Amino acid sequence: MGKNEGCHHSRPVQPLAMPCRVDAMVISPVKPAIYWQVDGAGARIKRLKDGISIAMSMEDLRVRFEPVLRRIFHLYWWFARGMTLGVRAVVLDHENRVFLVKHSYVAGWHLPGGGVEVGETFMEALRRELVEEGRIELAGEPVLHGLFFNGHVSRRDHVAVYVVRRFTQDRPPEPNREIIACGFFAPTALPEETTRGTRLRIAEVLEGRQRVATWR
């Protein structure tokens, strides 16, 4: 399932199991965009038996282990597939707001998507990932935007990007161990942590910016 700009392969190794709680449902400044946000402080371990108080931030753990997890993911896919293929979608609502997701194990906000499994077509993988990450069901044929070489991750990684304008979403997805936040955002009000590759794809689709061959 989802990825950062480097780990888009579906069904990744599960992130470290840390207790976490959903603090609240946060409403985006651009109504009616709704997404779930995990408490920014992360899971906290408060008191030890010796009376010493410590606070361990999930964000600190993610930053520390992300490079290792990225290598593990791609080492696995290197042996399993040789060449890795991914799929992502620029999902746009009637106001041209774009749907983004935030993962628990990698930094930033990303386009929804993931890896193409053995025996899957790009379209089958796209349908599966959109349901898993956003409860989004395709209601029309997506348009292929382009194929991109994800060379900053691996010399054998490629990503297909589709534009989705016709879809249904019965409700925003609940947060889980992989997707901790998601929502629709105006192109002029993207979250600060939106990744460079994600911003490039959105600009290409909505602003007509010249398409590049690499992911970022």
- 58-76: per-residue pLDDT in tens? 667 767 777 777 777 666 6
Q: Is 168 exposed, middle or buried (0-12, 13-18, 19+ CB in 10 A)?
A: exposed
What local confidence, expressed as pLDDT, does residue 65 receive? 74
Q: Is the peptide bond before 32 cis (omega within 30 degrees of 0)?
A: yes
189 pLDDT higher than 80: yes
The torsion of the CA quartet 188, 193, 10, 65, rounded to 10 degrees, works out to 180
pTM value surpassing 0.75: no
- 85-144: per-residue pLDDT in tens? 999 999 999 999 999 999 998 899 999 999 999 899 999 999 999 999 999 999 999 999
162 pLDDT higher than 60: yes
What local confidence, expressed as pLDDT, does residue 109 receive? 98
Region 193-207 average pLDDT: 97
Tokens of 146: 């382009």
pLDDT confidence of 15, banded at 50, 70, 90?
very low
Pick the CATH number of 22-207 from 3.40.718.10, 3.90.79.10, 3.40.50.720, 1.20.200.10: 3.90.79.10
Beta bridge partners of 98: 92, 185
84 pLDDT higher than 80: yes
Q: Where are the alpha helices (DSSP H) in the chain?
A: 58-81, 122-134, 196-207
The rounded distance, in Å, linking the Cα atoms of 200 and 85 is: 19
Q: Which residue has the higher pLDDT, 184 or 10?
A: 184
Q: Are strands 84-91 and 157-164 parallel, antiparallel or unpaired?
A: parallel
Tokens of 213: 């061959």
Q: Which of 35-44, 71-80, 152-161 has the highest mean pLDDT?
A: 152-161
Mean pLDDT of the chain: 77
Neighbours of 107 (CB within 10 A): 15
Contact 126, 167 (CB under 8 A): no
The rounded distance, in Å, linking the Cα atoms of 199 and 26 is: 22
